[in-house]
Amino acid sequence: MGLVASSGGGKSTLLSAFLDLGYNLVADDRIGFVLEAEEPLVVPSHPYLRNYRKEEDIGKPVRKLTEKILPLQTIFFLRWTEKVEPFIEKVEPGKAFQNLFSNSVYFPDVKIQARKILRWLAQMKTYRVYLPKGKIETLPQVCNMILSLTINDKR
C-alpha cells in the first residue's frame, strides 16, 4: 500500500504505527517505480531521502526495510479532519489521477507519464483516509481500517 499526503499530512506518523505492528517499510517520502513494468512496481529505497529538509526521526529505528521490488495495489490519500473518529472513502480514478499526476516527478515525457498512471490506476484501489487531527490514540484503529481494506477488499 502507498500513503500519499502533503508535507505534515501524517505519512510518517502512520508509517510509525505500521512499523509498531511489525510491517516492513518499502520507501518513505520518495517512491521509485519500475517504469518499464505494466503493473505499478515499487523499488525499495532508503527511508530518509529528503533532499529539501533536515532528516527527521519518527521515534524508532527502521530495521525492517523490504529488500525486493513489490507491486503497489492500493493507495491511501491522507487528510486531516476535525472529526473525532477516522473514516475512509473510496476515491474515483479521475481524482486519484489528478493527485498522482501532480505528485509524480522524473517522468521523461508527460504523455507517457499520464498513460502509465492511468494504466496503473486501472489495477489499483484508491481511498482517502481522514485522520482526526491531534488524536494519535486513533492510529491503531486507522491501521486496522486500512488493513481491512487491503486484505479483505476484492474488486
Range in 9-13, 98-102, 113-117 with the lowest mean pLDDT: 98-102
C-alpha cell read off for 79: 487528510
Tell me how long the chain is.
Answer: 155
Domains of the chain: 2-152 (3.40.50)
CA distance 15 to 107: 26
Going through 64-124 in order, the beta strands assigned E by DSSP cover 70-71, 74-81, 87-90
Instruction: Return all residues near 22 (Cβ < 8 A) that are at least 6 apart.
Output: 64
In tens, the pLDDT along 34-90 reads: 778 888 888 877 655 444 444 455 555 556 667 788 888 999 999 999 999 999 999
Name the percent of the chain lying above pLDDT 70.
79
Q: Which amino acid is at 56?
A: E
Buried/exposed 36-62: b ≥16 CB within 10 Å, e otherwise: eeeebbbebbebeeeeeeeeeebeeee
How would residue 112 be classed by pLDDT, with cut points 50, 70 and 90? confident
